[in-house]
Every structure is written in structure tokens, then in C-alpha cells.
Structure 1
Amino acid sequence: MCANKLTMPIPEYLSEILESVRANTAGEVANYIPELKKADPNPLAIAICTVDGRIYSAGDDEVEFTMQSISKPFAYALALQECGADQVFDTVAVEPSGEAFNELSLDGSNRPMNPMINAGAIAINQLINGSDSSVEDRVEKIRKYFSELAGRELMIDRRLTESELVGADRNLSIAHMLRNYGVIDDDAHDAVLSYTLQCAIKITVRDLAVMTATLAAGGVQPITGKKLIDTKVCRLTLSVMASAGMYNEAGQWLSTVGIPAKSGVAGGLIGILPGQLGISTFSPRLNAQGNSVRGVEIFKTLSDDMGLHLMSTEPVAVHAVRTITEKDGVTTIRLQGAMNFSAGENFLHEIQQHQFEGEMVVLDLSRVITLHPMAMRMIKEGLKRIRDAGFKVAIVDPDNVLPNFTFSDGTLCAQLASERDL
């Protein structure tokens, strides 16, 4: 008997989350940009990419939208990569402003408060490709870099750029202020054009999940395996995202969700769990702070369900599957460590890839320390799918870390004291 077509339950879980927030129609699309004001408010999508390059998505995951402010952390990483931390820190500070994204905010040294507000982002944009760069060359450098992060060629929405420039008075005021204090050298109109084109790069939630997973993986693009960002640059970028990525909602976000994040007024929202995965959502209706209403709700659910909060005291293990061995018609899967969402995902991936033989599958939990409820759900679902493929299933659980193992259909899983009881 062979079962090499097991399906993964993670996309089903993501679909459940989308359905749980779909009825929430609070908020409005961004109304200060004509093209965004006309946007369809209903698309809803989510994608997750692990640092090992596995992507899971649900909903309208192929719908393209513009990055807007989500471009800021990636541009910041590029500037750090090109110019070094000292020059970047001399230009833009890293303190939370506690203000709206478009405030004319400078610190005591006349630096923008951080790179996640518009003043800081415009200054960061001007560092890329050198102060003597033309707008076209600078934007092309950014577009190519973002394309490498996403693993495909990304394009710029020129129509939206023109629409956004019509109402760019606020950003022009910021650029003139920056030029007045010597923060930027370029003409204010060129600086705003360059920044607006950066924001108009089009992506999907799947693209963003891969881009964020690159930061989570210490700069290694998880699909291509190419090292694109220095590890230190990733750490600095994630630190600023954690403290300032959600503008004047950043403190509440860090308390409730607890992961580095960044929003965009087109409705995108990204979050990163360092060393584990990148997450992206898309829903255009925004709250008063300019963050996606349903996106924020989704992230809160994910944080609670999956134990994503950075301040969580629960131990973490990513590579959960120690071995998979076969002997005398019995396949034994040995797990290890503290099982969280990422560990559960690793388990599901390994059993999906494995070509099971024989008649029985045994899950050995002898080396498992703890089981997060989400990991427990994933393990049970994975074993159920093995059983439904025609195998007998049993567990070895000497420390009772998975007590009263009942499948979702009410049937009990056989429990063995050890493999010797087979």
C-alpha cells in the first residue's frame, strides 16, 4: 500500500481564517488617491512562506496591488546594504514617532524620526543608487531589487503613479522640508516622483510572503537560495518594523500581535516571524490609522492560534521530524523538541513528501517536549490523512504530550507504550 498523494491542511486553515473575517466590512478604501479610491474593497487574500521556501495561500492570492508603504522596509534594507548603517543612521533615525505616516516629523538633529514614516522613506529612497542618480536609474535599481526578493519580475503601475502625484502636496511639503534641512539634495519634485514610483510597484500576497520570508531567513531568498541581504541588515530592518511599522498603532500591535509588521494603504499587510516565516494579507478597507481592518484581524487570529508573538515564552523548534524509518511493514515517524506552528508545518511537509509503504504508521513522540495547540491540530490532521489513505495509525507517547488522541471524526488513535508493542 502506498500513499504519496497526501494533501496539506494548511491552505484549508488559511481559508477558514479568511471566511471568519469576510463579513467584516468596516473601514474604507484610501480616498486621497483617485485610483485607490476607485479600488474594489472586497478582495481578500493571505499567503505564508516558510524560510525553507514553502508557500501556502488562500483567497484572491493572484490579485495584484501596489506596495505603497510596504515598500519602505525593503527600500530601507537596500539602502543599508548599499550605504552601510552609519550613513543611513546619519540620515534617518530609528525612533518611533507615535504620529501618522505623513507627519512632517524630524528629531532634534533634523533627521526624520524613522524610515517607516513618509519623511524617512523619502530620505531613504534618495540614498539608493547615490545622490547623483537620475529618477529613472534609482527606481529601476529598486524595481530590480524587489524583483529579486520576490523571485519574479515586478512591474510599476504608472497610471496609479500619475493619480497619486495629483494629490502629492503633503509629500512635496515633506520633500521641501528635507531639502531645506539638507537631508536630501535632489529636487523636491524628483524626490517625490522617485518615492511614488517605488510605492507603485505591483505585487501579490504570494510575492510579499516570499519577500518577507527573505528577511525572516536572514537575507536568503527562500525560493532561489540566493543571499540578497546581510544578516545584520535584516536584524536592523526587523527591529525598525517592530517599533514603527504600524505608525501610531505600533505599540498596540506589538502588544497584541507581537511581530515585526508593515502596512500599505492599498490594503496590504506583512508580518515576519524571524527564523520561521513571512506572512502577507490583502484587504483594501482601512482603519483610521491607515491599516487594513481585516488584515489586522487576521494577524491577531494567527498570532493567537499559531503562537507567533515574539515575546512568547514557549520554546520553539522548526525541524521537528527527527527521522522517518521503515521496518517490517511499519513506518515510524520520530518527532523532537517543542512543537509550534512551524514545527507542525515541517511535520506535514515531510509526510506529504514521503512515499509510505507497508500497512502501519507509528508516530513516536518520545522526544517531544511540548505541543502548542496549533501543532497538535496539525499533527492530528496529518495522521488522519495517513489513516484515510488506508494505513493503520498508532502513536508512542510515554509522557502523554498528546493525551486522549481522538480524530476529528470521533475515532480513537491506538496508543503504544513503545514500538516493542507492535
Structure 2
Amino acid sequence: MDSPIENYLRRIHAELAGLKDGKPYSAIPAMANVNPDCFGIALATADGYVYEVGDTREEFSIQSISKPFTYALALADLGMEAVDAKVDVEPSGDSFNEISLAEGTGRPANAMINAGALTATSLVKGSGGRSRFKRILDTYSAFAGRDLDVNQRIYTSEARSGHRNTALGYLLRSFGIIETDPAPIIKDYFRQCSVMVNARDLALMAATLANSGRHPLSGDEVLDLASVERVLSVMTTCGMYDDAGSWISSVGMPAKSGVAGGILAVLPGQVGLAVYSPPLDAHGNSVRGVAVSQRLSHDLGLHFVRAARTGRSAIRAIYDITAAPSGIRRTDEAAEILAEHGHRVQVIELNGDLLFAGAESMVRALTELPDDVELVVADLRSVDEVSDVAIRLIAEAEDMLRRSGRELAFVELEGTVAASLQELGRETASFTTRSAAIEWCENRMLEGHGTELVLPDTIEPADSPALSPLDPDDAQLLQDMMEDRTYDDGDVVRRVGQRFGGVFFIVSGQIMTSIPGPDGSRVKLATLGPGMTFGEMAMGEDRRQETTVKASGPVQVKVLTADAIDELAEQDPVLSMNLWKALTQDAYARVEQYLREAAVRIHD
């Protein structure tokens, strides 16, 4: 099944591909002839799933997007105090190549401008047989999750045309900010800007920062959390240079751009976004990249003010109904059908918040369901908040499920998600307990995959599973001994503590059994339907009713009373003994089912 998120990204890509403003960067000759129509969007979740649309595998030089990662390596090597002594954390308000140095000390305003980036490069030292640049390149590769390399043609072009950066390097040396010969440092800076990446790489690099420095696919810790916090903080205030204020108000994510046309943005705990499109605006930022970021932030609720909570997967468990059946006792034939086809019903338990990241994990799970799944139950009882973005994504996923012949149902105490979908014109089944939802699904499976006899409206006692071990004539004889009784919806048929009153055979309708819970509330045990029995567990002189039995709708039963059972024992002891054996066999089967369902009933 298609993903609603991929479909959304395709729509945004098609719409913004027509945006023709801006021009590719031409100050570096090797980058001057890039195709201005290249356009890719990659969105990586904190658990490593990447949505890609357009030219996401087209490689380009990382340029200034390298700055946060070199700064991160310097922080990891030396600690904040040592790095802060050389480069500040204040926004400069200037463009990326301005000479923003503190008066007197020469300290650069931050590590995102060129002067600060040169300083950060100078702070990285060779170690363990690896040169400074080899360590920088390895760090970039670890963030991307693959080996990256330098484009020598772009590096040579940068080195030949980068007079301003060369001058900045020597100016920093004059202030003692760079403490050694600046020439090798300047070359390494040009090399780091010439590392080749694609939009997918940048999205995973951003997702690693979003995931507290741990790569979402490999699980490797690339950067410690304290350094991640510092890097993202500086990216928030300084990453977009003299457009930082407008960016943080309209997009609301720490970000970094590069003159090759890339933009990287991070929503901590949730996603990493990357866009590649070469035409730049007056600030040196990708025109389409800015437009995409603004649209996604608005449409998907990615602004940090709206999406402040952690975006860990909202999915607690996924299983089919064979692992957690309803509390209904089925006939043997029905049980066989459910055992064979129960995998066609999947239950998805969710918890936490359904903001963008949480809704994304739910929608992704829906799109990855096996082809033979027919019904999906989303259990939302442990969900704290459901955003408007989540409702829209769920609505699109529900549409896609319906188009593929599937159906979605909810378990929620208030029914708010189903009500919200109804306002959008979608009728979706909703239940307050998981047992009720699974019961509904089981009935749908039996209707679709069984015969009309699997869910009959009426079953006489002689045809019930409990009496199936008996000779048909004996079963009919027992039925003839029974009393007819009827009950209306809500009527109490038996109460806890009552003495044995006979064996009740349900002819039509449904019966619900429950027991008192620890807090005095009623705990539902099972729903019984036609052909099923109750009351026999209290057989015996000193036994009493252990459950409350109540009619759920109109109910017709036949009762083999205690007096009739006593009379049978005197007149036909063989049949009486066979009846006991049949009822005991049926009771054992029921106890086994109750044990399998215990965890589900307690949860409900």
C-alpha cells in the first residue's frame, strides 16, 4: 500500500518544482554548470526510515553543511570550555563569509560562519594514525552511515578561488585564534566543503542529530548528547546566517544550508529533513529548500513549538487476533476458521503522542501490512494526544486501506479520533474495549470465510457443542427435559453467590459474564452466544455461582434445572454420567481458552 507521507511529499515536490527563482552558486567555477532543475526531498525518521522524492541520490558538495559536524568533532575532542575560548556561540547577523570577529580578541561569532568554521577545523587534531582531515571525513561518514569522499575537481577549484577564506585563515592566525600555520588548515577546510553527499545522506545525518547522536540505522553513537545539544543550539540561532530569525519563526527547526543547494534541518527526537535544489536566494539558501521546509513545518506540525515532545515510535505492539482472541466461546468449527484466518486481522497498540512522528510510525505500519490483512484495529487507549496532523495522516491511510479492500477500526475510550474522521466524511468503527473490537473482527472473519452455519442466530441444545459427545437421541431427550426462559436486555440471569440453578443452554441472543474487580468495578469475562452454556460450573451440593450473568439484548435459553438433573440421575444413571462427562469436557475447553485470554481481559 502506498504511504500517505510519500504521496504528500510527491505533491509538494511537483508543486514546488515549478518555483524558478534564484540562481546556482557560481563563485566556485567547478560548481557553476550544475543543473538548476535538480530537486530532491528526503525525510528520515528518528528510527531510520527514509522517505525520498525526486533527485535524492544526486550527489553534490556538502559545502557549509559540513560546519556543524566539524564543530561537533571539535567539541567531542576538547570539550565546550576549550572550544568556546576560540569560537563564540552568538549569532552574527551577517552573511556566511563576513569577517565577524570580536574586537580585540578576534574570536569568531559562531562556528556556522566561515571564520568560525575555519577555527573549528583548526581545533581538530590528527589521532591514532589518522590525519585531521581523515578524522573529519570519517565523522561525516559515520553520520551519513556510508563512506563519503572528496570531489578533487571541486576541491581544486575551491583552493584556487577561495581567496577570502584564505585571508580569513591568516587573519585568525594573526589574532592567535589559529595557533599554527593556517595553510594546512585552510586546505582541510576546502576539502571538507568538497565532500560529496546526496539528500538521503543529509537526511540521515540530520536524523542522527535528531536521535541524540546515535545513528538510527547502525545504532552507533556518533556524538555524545551534550555535544548534540550544543550543535543544535548553535544551528538554531546561527545556522541560516542573516536569515536565521525568519527561518526559526517560519520553520522552527535547527538547520544548516550550503551554497551547492543543500539544506539540512533537524527536529530533535523526531525527524531529519534534507532538500537539494541548486538555485539560491540572496542569503545563499536554496529557494526550493526553504519553500519545502516551510511547507513541511506548517503542514506536518514540525515547528519545535508545536512538536516539542520526543518522537519515539508510538507503536507498542503489533499482533494478529490468534494471539489475543476475544472473550467469546466459539463452536469448534468457528474456532477452526479463526485459527486459519485470524492472521488477517492485525492489532496495533499505540502509546504516547500522535504528533507527526508518532502518526508517521502508525501510518508506516499500516502501509507495511501483509497483503492478506483485511482488518486493522488501532488501540489508542494509551495515546495521550492526537494532533490535527495525525488525524489528516490517519484519514489518508484509512482511504488507502479502503481502496485496497481493507478496513480500519479503533479502540478508544472517548471516541474522539473516530469522531474527527467522521467530520472529514469517513465512517470508522470505534469500540471502548479491545475485546469488543476483536469480537467484531472475529464475526467479520467468520462471515467472510465461514458458512452461514458458523454464526447461526439460533441453536437448539441438542445441537450445541456441549452435548455433541452424546448420542443424538440422548441429546434430544435432555432437551425435552428443559424449561424455556426469556430475558430482556440488561436482565440479570444469575448472580455471584447463588446456589446451583441448573445448566443454561443459550438458544438465541448473547449473554455477558463478569466478576467483581479489586476496586469494586465489574470485570468482563466472556460473551456467550447461541449454542453455548453457563451455570454448570456451580454444579454440586456446596457450589455457588462464581460469576454474574446478564442478558446483552433479548435472550432465549433452555434450562436443565437442578431438579431435572437429580431426576435424571435416579432414572437414567448412564445418561446422567455421560452428561457429566460431556459438560466436564466442555468446561475444561473453556478454562483453557480463559487462560489464553487472561492477559487481554486484565488489560481491558
Q: TM-score, normalised by structure 1?
A: 0.91
- Counterparts in 2 of 1:197-212, with a 5 A limit? 197-212=191-206
User: What amino acid is the match of 1:151?
Assistant: G
Matched, 1:17 2:42: no
1:161 match: 155
2:97 match: 102
- Counterparts in 2 of 1:23-422, with a 5 A limit? 23-108=18-103, 109-129=105-125, 137-312=131-306, 318-325=312-319, 326=321, 327=325, 329=342, 330-355=345-370, 359-397=374-412, 398-403=414-419, 405=421, 412-416=427-431, 418-419=433-434, 420=436, 422=440
Q: Helix, strand or coil for the counterpart of 2:417?
A: coil
Q: What are the superposed Cα offsets for residues 80-114 of structure 1, whole Å, 9 maximum, x if unpaired?
A: 11122121111111110001111111124321110
Question: How far off is 1:278 after superposition?
Answer: 0.9
User: What amino acid is the match of 2:82?
Assistant: Q
In structure 2, what is the Cα distance between the partners aligned to 1:312 and 1:365? Answer: 21
Cα gap change, 1:35 to 1:302, in 2 (>3 Å): same
Question: How far off is 1:193 after superposition?
Answer: 1.4
Cα gap change, 1:243 to 1:46, in 2 (>3 Å): same
* Mapped contact 1:371–1:402 kept (Cα < 8 A): no
Question: How far off is 1:16 after superposition?
Answer: 1.3
Greater RCO between the two (CA within 8 Å, min separation 6)? 1
Cα gap change, 1:316 to 1:169, in 2 (>3 Å): closer
Question: How far off is 1:407 after superposition?
Answer: 11
User: What amino acid is the match of 1:362?
Assistant: V
In structure 2, what is the Cα distance between the partners aligned to 1:225 and 1:411? Answer: 40
In structure 2, what is the Cα distance between the partners aligned to 1:308 and 1:137? Answer: 39
* Mapped contact 1:316–1:340 kept (Cα < 8 A): no
- Mean CA deviation greater in 238-247 or 336-345: 336-345
In structure 1, what is the Cα distance between the partners aligned to 2:66 and 2:157? Answer: 18
**In terms of Rg, which structure is larger?**
2
* Mapped contact 1:366–1:399 kept (Cα < 8 A): no
In structure 2, what is the Cα distance between the partners aligned to 1:30 and 1:391? Answer: 50
Cα gap change, 1:358 to 1:117, in 2 (>3 Å): closer
- Mean CA deviation greater in 334-343 or 169-178: 334-343
- Mean CA deviation greater in 303-312 or 279-288: 303-312
Q: What are the superposed Cα offsets for residues 364-416 of structure 1, whole Å, 9 maximum, x if unpaired?
A: 334434322321122223333333443343334534234253599x6633344
- Mean CA deviation greater in 175-184 or 356-365: 356-365
Extract unaligned runs of 5+ from structure 2.
326-337, 441-604
In structure 1, what is the Cα distance between the partners aligned to 2:72 and 2:213? Answer: 10
Q: Helix, strand or coil for the counterpart of 2:419?
A: coil
Structure 1 stretches of at least 4 aligned residues deviating more than 6 Å after TM superposition: none
Question: How far off is 1:355 after superposition?
Answer: 4.3
Extract unaligned runs of 5+ from structure 1.
1-5
In structure 1, what is the Cα distance between the partners aligned to 2:198 and 2:307? Answer: 33
* Mapped contact 1:122–1:195 kept (Cα < 8 A): yes
In structure 1, what is the Cα distance between the partners aligned to 2:23 and 2:372? Answer: 54
Q: TM-score, normalised by structure 2?
A: 0.65
In structure 1, what is the Cα distance between the partners aligned to 2:70 and 2:109? Answer: 16
User: What amino acid is the match of 1:67?
Assistant: I
In structure 1, what is the Cα distance between the partners aligned to 2:311 and 2:78? Answer: 35
Question: How far off is 1:34 after superposition?
Answer: 1.0
2:330 match: none
CA RMSD of aligned residues (A): 2.4
In structure 2, what is the Cα distance between the partners aligned to 1:318 and 1:335? Answer: 11
Q: What are the superposed Cα offsets for residues 5-33 of structure 1, whole Å, 9 maximum, x if unpaired?
A: x3433222211111121111111111211
User: What amino acid is the match of 1:179?
Assistant: R
Equivalenced residue count is: 414
